[in-house]
Amino acid sequence: MKTVESSIDEIKKITGEIDGIYTERIELDESFLDFAARFASIPGTVVLMSGGDNDCSRYHILGAKPWLTFTGRINDMKIKAKDHVFNFKADPFDTLRNILNVYRPYVKHLNGYHMQLPFTSGVLGYLSYDLKDCLEKLPRTSIDDLYLPHICFFAPSIIVVHDRKEDGTSLLIPERIISGKSVLHKDLEVFKNILVSKQPPMESFSGDVDGFRSNFTKSKYINAVKQIKEYIASGHVYQVNISQRFEMNFEGNAFSLFRTLYKLNPAPFFSYINAGDHFIVSTSPERFLLQSGDRVETRPIKGTIPRGENPDEDKRRGIELENSSKNDAELSMIVDLLRNDLGKICEARSVRVAEHKRLEAYKNVFHLVSIVEGILSRDQDTVDVIKAAFPGGSITGCPKIRSMEIIDELEPHRRHIYTGSTGYISFHDTMDLSIAIRTATIVNKKIIFSVGGGIIFDSDPFDEYDETMHKGRTLREVFTGKEKRLSSKSYVWINGNIEPIELAKINVADHGFLFGYGFFETIRVNKGKPQYLQEHIARFNQTWKHLFFEQVPDLTWQDIIYQVISRNDLLEETAAVKIVASKGNSEKSSLDFTLIVMARPYTHRLAEKREQGINLVVYPKPRQTPLADYKTLNYLYYLLAGEWAKKKGADEALILNPDDTISETNTANILLIKDKTFMRPISQHVLPGIMEKVVCKLLLSLGYMSKSKKLCLEDLFLTDQVIITNSLIGAIPVLSINGKKLEKPTDLWRKINNTVL
């Protein structure tokens, strides 16, 4: 694995140095949206568009054909340059700083015109909310089910900036010198070829007819708001931003979605990012950080109310929001937080609130906005600005760290791009990043977006839920009339009910889930007719009696199978039907169990093979449970051994290897102690015990010698004492085996437990 320094040096040789910026005024014969569509399918293309007419909506920016791509997760960094890929361990912010510092000195010859433009060279992309874990030590108890980069930036060779105020468009190409030669002509040629090519066709997009699904029910979201109010009442926090995530199957073109949203509701910070294997479409109204030289700015939004349905109601709504004491308190708290954030990296006494509680109107809602600004200290840089304020306080809460802990506790999924940032960071000390709200991720044929709001003590849980629905309305409604059945939903029969497979529930205390205590039958069904059903059910009943109890289920399996096949539209196909029996929670009732019948289309394994047969190899592991090397859910062997031992009047079962040597018990590792030596039995397959390792290390520190050897049953009676260990019990002595007493144990096990427990 390369270091960041060695990687950056090699990358610089491949990418070359930037020797000025080629600039050309160009005339667009089409809208900027149509122009950007020409580049939208190229991985690494980023489009930043400004909508509306407020003072932060001046420029459209396109970046395409990246000469460098930087992505990372946690501390696993990846940089691509040409056909080279560099992987190394590093902090993502340090890596970003290294990239900016390597190319900053070579961005020169900037004349007055260049200096008027916000971005002439640098990187465009996103910072995910989950980068917070690289800045603070925070819990990670929510699920990261997307597994996307935490940081993703592209350095474009083609940059186009459109000034909406002056109605002028500029082409900018960083002139890179590689091995003494300029590659400007190649980049220009690519741009001109795209410009004269045929306009790409307008592609469509569709959402699933079942619509968006939230990771919260309404009642759970309301309960989460109530939990936050309890945290506020007990002094943990003053405010927390909580969100719910929506997900739906998606088909079609991500840029078409971007285009449609922009035409519907052109907010100040529209972003389209083609990251190759995923797309980001953001319609954010909120600026996170602006830098221009040594001036920095942030514009938090706090306070939202739906627009009125007529001019009079609209005016009343705006006045209501401006006069809301709740929203005033909410915004004031976040302004104070951001003043403190900017104070970390700005000149003393330079941070000020330039404007407070500005009312801004958008299509669906009014927002309250403040402007906080300061002068950057000479010893601080762009990355320091990001680290001081990230993630934005307006979408975490106050105090920020405790708020983020509560967010992780209450939200089931990691946020990824939501409440992170999108935008540009230049090589010439300019930056403009938005807060990624009203932002969708398109990945794996799904579209995902989140909406939330800041909760304070006076928040009404039901109003807060309704506010999230208002904020997400545009993203939901844009799919109206574009619904399709995008997935064939599977149904299962479970304990008498037919349910969509994603809604079927199994109790987490079910022993089939906990221990693999269950079994199944797989049946071929040809056009609705089960093959050899009587034989399958006879074997099923025999296994049921052996593992569960005598009374077999009184069910007409053929009718159940027909229901499942029919519901899954498989009556005219060959299908594989699986009947699953799970033991349930035997502590609850001896008659507790779970029965499941599921079906799927079946294609014969030889159908796609050139050879009409299968090839075998000899498996090197004998059938002696190689799964014992790991703590799998297939725990039935040990469960039955323990139950057998209890029926015999013992506490645990002693497990032997196939050659009759000692292995373990059904829950613990075994240690034999003789004089000042402890012995561990050698076993081909056994779970390495966490507590065993701790105890062995302790015994070594107490002067004991260690041995590992094959041990027979007789060896247990020839030693001073035998103890068993696991993480719950620590160490416990063994008193007898098969009714025969062992040597009386010393108090060593107590000394061990006093240390390790």
Ramachandran class of 419: left when φ > 0, alpha when ψ lies in -120 to 50, beta otherwise = left
pLDDT class for 614, splitting at 50, 70, 90? low
Pick from 262, 263, 304, 302: nearest CA to 282: 262
CB atoms within 10 A of CB 381: 18
Measured between alpha carbons, how far is residue 436 from residues 289, 382, 412, 596 in Å? 12, 19, 19, 42
The span from the CA of 329 to the CA of 461, in Å, is: 17
Burial pattern 559-595, b for ≥16 Cβ within 10 A else e, equals: ebbbebbebbebeebebebebbbbbbbbeeeeebbbb
The pLDDT value given to residue 512:
87
The pLDDT value given to residue 590:
56
The pLDDT value given to residue 505:
87
pLDDT tens-digit profile of 109-162?
A: 555 555 678 999 999 999 999 999 999 999 888 999 999 999 999 999 999 999
pLDDT tens-digit profile of 166-175?
A: 899 999 999 9
- Domain final residue, candidates 557, 586, 601: 601
Which residue's entry shows tokens 């050879």? 611
CATH number of the domain that 18 lies in? 3.60.120.10
The pLDDT value given to residue 504:
87
**Are both 276 and 375 inside the same structural domain?**
yes
The span from the CA of 397 to the CA of 454, in Å, is: 7
The span from the CA of 586 to the CA of 578, in Å, is: 23
Looking at this protein, which amino acid is placed at residue 30? E
pLDDT tens-digit profile of 617-674?
A: 777 776 677 777 777 777 788 888 898 998 888 999 999 999 999 999 999 999 999 9
CATH number of the domain that 514 lies in? 3.30.470.10
Lowest mean pLDDT among 161-165, 214-218, 590-594, 722-726: 590-594
pLDDT class for 688, splitting at 50, 70, 90? confident
Instruction: Estimate to the nearest angstrom the gap between the alpha carbon of 589 and the chain centroid.
Output: 39
Residue 118 placed within a domain: yes
Question: Measured in Å, how far apart are the chain's first and last C-alpha atoms?
Answer: 38
The span from the CA of 388 to the CA of 298, in Å, is: 12
pLDDT class for 272, splitting at 50, 70, 90? very high
The span from the CA of 438 to the CA of 470, in Å, is: 11
Range of the domain at 563: 491-601
**Are both 466 and 533 inside the same structural domain?**
no
- Domain final residue, candidates 417, 447, 477: 477
Per DSSP, which regions of 55-149 are E strands?
A: 59-73, 76-81, 84-89, 122-127
The pLDDT value given to residue 623:
60
pLDDT at 30 over 80: yes
Measured between alpha carbons, how far is residue 263 from residues 30, 49, 177, 257, 740 in Å? 15, 11, 40, 10, 84
Whole-number average pLDDT of the chain: 90
Residue 654 placed within a domain: yes
**H or E element in which residue 13 lies:** helix 4-15
**Are both 319 and 427 inside the same structural domain?**
yes
Mean pLDDT of 688-709: 93
**Are both 73 and 184 inside the same structural domain?**
yes
The pLDDT value given to residue 549:
77
Lowest mean pLDDT among 47-51, 522-526, 560-564: 522-526
Q: Is the peptide bond before 399 cis (omega within 30 degrees of 0)?
A: yes
**Are both 409 and 347 inside the same structural domain?**
yes
**Are both 583 and 458 inside the same structural domain?**
no
The pLDDT value given to residue 115:
60
Alpha helices (H) in 344-399, listed in sequence order: 382-389
**Are both 581 and 662 inside the same structural domain?**
no
Task: Specify the number of domains making up the chain.
Answer: 3
Tokens linked to 301: 């939004």
Which residue's entry shows tokens 């499941």? 596
The pLDDT value given to residue 577:
92
Residue 426 placed within a domain: yes
Alpha-carbon Rg for the chain in angstroms? 32
- Domain final residue, candidates 477, 511, 528: 477
**Are both 414 and 515 inside the same structural domain?**
no
CB 283, CB 47: distance < 8 Å: no
CB 413, CB 419: distance < 8 Å: no
623-632: list long-range contacts, CB under 8 Å, 24+ apart.
Answer: 624/657, 624/658, 624/684, 624/685, 625/685, 626/685, 627/685, 628/685, 628/686, 628/687, 629/685, 629/686, 629/687, 630/687, 631/687, 632/516
**Are both 346 and 409 inside the same structural domain?**
yes
Q: Strands 213-214 and 721-726, how do they pair?
A: unpaired
| Residue % of the chain over a pLDDT of 90 | 64
The pLDDT value given to residue 737:
92
The span from the CA of 289 to the CA of 435, in Å, is: 9
Residue 621 placed within a domain: no
Question: Is 609 exposed, middle or buried (CB count within 10 Å of its CB: 0-12, 13-18, 19+)?
Answer: exposed
Mean pLDDT of 376-403: 94
Residue 482 placed within a domain: no
Residue 629 placed within a domain: no
**Are both 244 and 98 inside the same structural domain?**
yes
The span from the CA of 544 to the CA of 537, in Å, is: 10
**Are both 495 and 462 inside the same structural domain?**
no
**Are both 470 and 515 inside the same structural domain?**
no
565-572: list long-range contacts, CB under 8 Å, 24+ apart.
Answer: 565/525, 565/528, 565/599, 566/528, 567/491, 567/498, 568/488, 568/490, 568/491, 568/599, 568/600, 569/488, 570/525, 570/528, 570/599, 570/601, 571/527, 571/528, 572/527, 572/528
CATH number of the domain that 714 lies in? 3.20.10.10
Residue 509 placed within a domain: yes
CB 435, CB 419: distance < 8 Å: yes
Q: Which residue has the higher pLDDT, 304 or 260?
A: 260
Measured between alpha carbons, how far is residue 523 from residues 183, 193, 546, 569 in Å? 63, 58, 21, 17
Mean pLDDT of 542-555: 87
CB 505, CB 582: distance < 8 Å: no
Instruction: Supply the DSSP symbol for 524.
Output: E
Mean pLDDT of 692-707: 95
Residue 623 placed within a domain: no
State the catalytic residues: 286, 302
Mean pLDDT of 681-701: 91
